[in-house]
Structures are given as structure tokens and as C-alpha cells.
């Protein structure tokens, strides 16, 4: 037995290659997963692919606070060939049992490590965007690369059409896990007053990156339709992104009171100011916003894209539109605003989500996937 008491040989070594170093929901989920895998006895090392001059201070602080082992590889320009040499060197030195990647760039490196060193490679698939031809080309590259992966981890079912998977046995579902938000620094009344909302005014919230795949423009269109029957309803948009200028122009001639709040660090306060949360994504797999909304005991009106219908389950306080059209989104927003749920019922829904999407269950699912990959490779797991 090892010092961990779980393996007769040394604990499995996992090398994780991460190219996204901004503090996104995906990165937060990954850090929590790696931390829990280490607690379960696995030997995990992260490689951060950082573009020269990029500030990754918040990520570095998170990793250091959790005492996670990591190495930084600097990319001087896009597709810097030095990355290949660095990854192959690190793989040779660390001798991992599994290489895990997150994104198209790291997928290139993971497949090379598998080809050169014979290390099974697991590719995590987090969804796709269609913001430009270049990004669409990157996703096509990622899909082609993943055809050679030992396993593909998806955070939710319902994305098979994205991947064009023929071998379903290689696909594993590793759902995102719920987080408890930090306590709000201001009360609901104080936050509403800050944005010019009255205590009794119905407020529909929207949280995310201001980009086409997240559909903030659909939110504005849907709110205009809601306004026809409920002119007192207001909106709160939280986030930043490339569509900000376009949205500001649209809001200038919009009859609905919608506040564009920008990025907020105090998300508990932001959710407290909302009565319901709208998710209007055109493309999605597993939005962390949905978990945050339920954690904040807020009902959700969402589009039926990606894994959202599966996450919603029986529905309860999550209403899924019939399609991705402003009129359908407006209908579910209107319906959610018309519902009345007790605080006890909302807390019960939150407790159910915490059980179904716990971080502990996520770590268990990931470890089961690693074990399956080990056994396929003819290696003993314990």
C-alpha cells in the first residue's frame, strides 16, 4: 500500500494542460476538481500555457492558496513550436499515467504526448462558440484531434452533435459541481437602489459573457416582448464582452428599463437583486450561471440548448423554452414571473441540486473515468 492507503503501487499521476488562465467558471471548476483529486490521493500536476505578457495573477493565487503543483509554459505567439518541446519534456520528466486537456490548443499538445510517450490522453469538452471563422476552425481542429483521444469528458449530455461521436464508449459525463457563493456585501434593497430599481419592481437578471453564443441580444428582444404585457418589469445585465457597444446602442432606444452593470465581483448581491434569472444562450453545454442561480434560490428561465434540459431535470423552478427564439424566451420569463414559490420550496430545490451536482460526486465521476481508461490500457488501478 502507498502512503495514501489506496494503491498498492504509486498513486496515479495526472498531468493537466490548461490554456485558459482567466478566472472563468471552467477554470474554477477545474481547480476544485484537481484539489479534490489530490485529497483522494492522486498525484496531479498542472501546466499553464500562458501567452507572453499575459497577467495570470488571480489564477496563480488560487493555485498557491490550495497548494497545487503547477508549471508555467510561456507561448511567445500563436502555435509557438516551443510549446511542443516543453510539453514533451515535462511529460518525459513527470511520467504521467494520464494527460488531460481543456481546449483546442492543449488538445494538440495532449495528442502529441499520447503519440510520442504513449500516455493515454483524456480531452475535456466544454462546448463551442461561433464568434468568428477562426474560432469555428479551431473547434473543427479540436473535434478532429479528439477522435484520437482515449476518452472524452463532457460536462453534460446533449452535445453529441457537436462532437460527431461514433464511439460512445469513449464519452464520459463529468458534470460541473455547485459552489457556495461568498456572502453578499450589500442587502437586496441596497443593491436594487444602486441600480435604480424599487423594492417591489420585478427584475429579470442575466449573467454571462457579452458575446453572441450567450445571447444577450436575445435577452433584450425577449424583454421587449415581456414589456408589452408587464411594463413594470426591469432587467439587469451582468457581464462584459465584445457585444457591449452593440448592446449599449440597443439600450439607448429600448423602452424597457435594463441596466448594463458590467462585471461584478459580488455575485451574491447581484443575484439577490434579481427575481428570476434568464439564460438565453444560443450555444451552451453546462452554464455555471444555472448552478449559481439555483444556489441563490432564484428561479430560472432558459433556452433548450446543450445540456440545459438535462440539468433542469424535472423542471420545478427551472423553465426551459421550446426553442431559441425571443418569443419563446419571453413566454418562459413571463411564466416564471407569474409563479410564486415559498422560500422553503426554493431552499428545497437548492438542496436537491447540491446533492445532484456536488463537487464530491464530480471528483468520484472523474476518478471512475480515469480507472476505466487505466483498465483499457491494461494497467492496474489499485
DSSP sequence for 80-129: -THHHHHHHHHHHHH--SEEEEESHHHHHHHHHHHHHH---EEEEE----
| Residue 259 near residue 235 (C-beta atoms within 8 A) | yes
Between 55 and 188, the higher pLDDT residue? 188
Residue 348 pLDDT class (50, 70, 90 cuts): very high
What pLDDT is attached to residue 131? 59
- Asked if pLDDT for residue 343 goes beyond 50, the answer is yes
Structure pTM? 0.88
Pick the CATH number of 188-356 from 3.40.50.1820, 3.40.50.2000, 3.10.450.50, 3.30.420.10: 3.40.50.2000
If pLDDT is split at 50, 70 and 90, which confidence band does 161 have? Answer: low
pLDDT of residue 53: 84
From residue 308, alpha-carbon distances to 14, 171, 225, 338, 368 in Å are: 30, 18, 23, 22, 24
Mean pLDDT of 290-306: 95
How big is the CA angle at 136 (ends 130 and 142), to the nearest 5 degrees?
Answer: 125
Higher pLDDT among residues 151 and 23, named by residue: 151
User: What's residue 3's pLDDT?
Assistant: 41
Q: Which residue has the cell 479534490?
A: 36
Beta bridge partners of 335: none
The burial of 229, by beta-carbon neighbours within 10 Å (0-12 exposed, 13-18 middle, 19 or more buried), is given as exposed
Instruction: Return d(Cα 27, Cα 21) in angstroms, integer.
Output: 7
Contact status, residue 203 vs residue 235, Cβ threshold 8 Å: yes
Question: Which residues pair with residue 206 across a beta bridge?
Answer: 237
Q: What count of Cα atoms within 13 Å lies in the side-chain half-sphere of residue 298?
A: 30
In this prediction, residue 5 carries a pLDDT of 47
Query: Looking at the chain, how many residues does it have?
Result: 382
Fold of 13-177+358-376: Rossmann fold (3.40.50)
Ranges 85-94, 153-162, 315-324: which has the least confidence? 153-162
Residue 187 clears pLDDT 50, i.e. is over it: yes
* 318 grid coordinates: 427551472
> Same CATH topology for 13-177+358-376 and 188-356?
yes
Residue 17: Cβ within 10 Å count: 27
Q: DSSP strand E in the chain: where?
A: 13-18, 43-51, 70-75, 98-102, 121-125, 151-154, 171-173, 203-207, 234-238, 258-262, 276-279, 300-302, 318-320
Helices (H) and strands (E) in the chain, counts: 15, 13
pLDDT at residue 132 in the model: 66
Tell me the mean pLDDT in the region 314-341: 92
What are the pLDDT digits (tens) for 56-69?
888 889 999 999 98
Residue 162 scores a pLDDT above 80 = no
pLDDT of residue 4: 45
Domain residue limits, the chain: 13-177+358-376, 188-356
Burial class (CB in 10 A: 0-12, 13-18, 19+), 75: middle
Amino acid at each position: 500500500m502507498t502512503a495514501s492507503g489506496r494503491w498498492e503501487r504509486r498513486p496515479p499521476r495526472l498531468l493537466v494542460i490548461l490554456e485558459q488562465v482567466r478566472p472563468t467558471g471552467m477554470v474554477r471548476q477545474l481547480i476544485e476538481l484537481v484539489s479534490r483529486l489530490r485529497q483522494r490521493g492522486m498525484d496531479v500536476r498542472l501546466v499553464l500555457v500562458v501567452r507572453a505578457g499575459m497577467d495570470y495573477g488571480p489564477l496563480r493565487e488560487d493555485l498557491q492558496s490550495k497548494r497545487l503543483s503547477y508549471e508555467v509554459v510561456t507561448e511567445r505567439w500563436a502555435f509557438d513550436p516551443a510549446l511542443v518541446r516543453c510539453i514533451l519534456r515535462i511529460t518525459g520528466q513527470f511520467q504521467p499515467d494520464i494527460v488531460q486537456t481543456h481546449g483546442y490548443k492543449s488538445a494538440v499538445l495532449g495528442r502529441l504526448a499520447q503519440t510520442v510517450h504513449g500516455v493515454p490522453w483524456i480531452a475535456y469538452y466544454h462546448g463551442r462558440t461561433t464568434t468568428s471563422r477562426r474560432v469555428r476552425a479551431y473547434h473543427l481542429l479540436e473535434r478532429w484531434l479528439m477522435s484520437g483521444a482515449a476518452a472524452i469528458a463532457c460536462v453534460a449530455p446533449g452535445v453529441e452533435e457537436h462532437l460527431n461521436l461514433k464511439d460512445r464508449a469513449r464519452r464520459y459525463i463529468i458534470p460541473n459541481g455547485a459552489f457556495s457563493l461568498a456572502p453578499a456585501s450589500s442587502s437586496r434593497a441596497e443593491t436594487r437602489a444602486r441600480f435604480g430599481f424599487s423594492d417591489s419592481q420585478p427584475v429579470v437578471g442575466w449573467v454571462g459573457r457579452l458575446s453572441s453564443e450567450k445571447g444577450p441580444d436575445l435577452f433584450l428582444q425577449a424583454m421587449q416582448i415581456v414589456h408589452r404585457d408587464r411594463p413594470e418589469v426591469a432587467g439587469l445585465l451582468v457581464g462584459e464582452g465584445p457585444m457591449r457597444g452593440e448592446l449599449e446602442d440597443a439600450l439607448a432606444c429600448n423602452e424597457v428599463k435594463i441596466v448594463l452593470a458590467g462585471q461584478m465581483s459580488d455575485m451574491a448581491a447581484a443575484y439577490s437583486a434579481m427575481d428570476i434569472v434568464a439564460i438565453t444562450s444560443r450555444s451552451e453545454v453546462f452554464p455555471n450561471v444555472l448552478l449559481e442561480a439555483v444556489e441563490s434560490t432564484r428561479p430560472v428561465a432558459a433556452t433548450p440548448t446543450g445540456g440545459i434540459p438535462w440539468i433542469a431535470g424535472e423542471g420545478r423552478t427551472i423553465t426551459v423554452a421550446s426553442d431559441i427564439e425571443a418569443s419563446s424566451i419571453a413566454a418562459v420569463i413571463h411564466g416564471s414571473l407569474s409563479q410564486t414559490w415559498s422560500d422553503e420550496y426554493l431552499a428545497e430545490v437548492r438542496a436537491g441540486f447540491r446533492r445532484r451536482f456536488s463537487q464530491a460526486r464530480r471528483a468520484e465521476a472523474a476518478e471512475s473515468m480515469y480507472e476505466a481508461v487505466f483498465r483499457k490500457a491494461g494497467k492496474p488501478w489499485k
